[in-house]
Amino acid sequence: MVESKRSPLPNYVEKTQPDITADMRAVLIDWLVDVAEEYKLLPETLYLTVSYIDRYLSCNAINRKRLQLLGVSSMLIASKYEEIHPPNVDDFCGITANTYNKQEVVEMERDLLRSLKYELGTPTINTFLRRFLKDGQENSESSNLVLEFLAYYLAELSLIDYGCIKFLPSIVAASAVFLAKFTIDPTNHSWIKKLERSTGYKVSELKECIYALHELQLNKRCCSLGAIRDKYKQDMFKCVSTLVPGEEMLRIFFDELKEESV
């Protein structure tokens, strides 16, 4: 299965990186979210960028001073792969305030491609999210937009959290759709069976990931990083980062689900 084959190691910071921490990774990705906004890149470009970063770091130890170089080189490759008019090398040098020169970016690009074995196409959270959202649509166009933006917001939050690497992209996508639906209407559970058929996962199988996304939504994890929250606080995204379901309601839902399965 390609999804599993091209997934990064869930513990690469502890196993492979003597000079890189989970917090450093989070800061880098938070910054790359802003870069993607600056250049108006497609969502898939951002997801591929993070995938390339994590896959590279899973098998290559690097100095912390080169982490940002890896980030811009990954986004350069993802842009070339996904965008019609991608930013060029000079753009990415400039966005780092010329911390790295053109040759350094090109050399890292080459090293990254070799490490990835030129396997650039990979299923991302975004890949599954697009499909799952189609099955979660309602009759109201307005409510569909809120659902879509909220699910994308939750999915993007997962990118900055090192703890979410252990979840397959399809699990994160399914969990984001569930939590978005639950946030909008925590009392209506009629859509759950449809979600399970669409995703291939029972909600009980998503519980750990749902709680991880919920903690991010509640600002309990990676709380000092605001790029994604600020992005989705805009009117164009229906201010979905301000929508939060109560902790107690989610706990009650899973308690009731457990009782039903007994």
Give the model confidence (pLDDT) of 135-191 as tens digits.
766 665 557 889 999 999 999 999 999 999 999 999 999 999 999 999 998 888 878
CATH code for the domain in which residue 109 is found: 1.10.472.10
pLDDT of 30 above 70: yes
Cβ neighbours of residue 70 closer than 8 Å, sequence gap 6 or more: 53, 56, 57, 62, 108, 112
- The total domain count for the chain is 2
Whether residue 159 sits in one domain with residue 90: no
Report the C-alpha dihedral over residues 86, 121, 119, 169, rounded to 10 degrees: 120
Q: Which of 66-70, 223-227, 237-241 has the highest mean pLDDT?
A: 66-70
Indicate whether 226 and 137 sit together in one domain.
Answer: yes
Residue 35's domain comprises 2-115
pLDDT digits (tens, 9 = 90+) for 247-260: 788 888 887 777 66
108 and 139 inside one domain: no
Give dist(CA 251, CA 258) in Å, integer. 11
Residues 176 and 236 in one domain: yes
Q: Are residues 82 and 180 in the same domain?
A: no
The verdict on 96 and 138 lying in the same domain is: no
Q: Check whether residue 156 and residue 245 sit in a common domain.
A: yes
Question: Do 90 and 42 sit in the same domain of this protein?
Answer: yes
Q: Are residues 92 and 194 in the same domain?
A: no
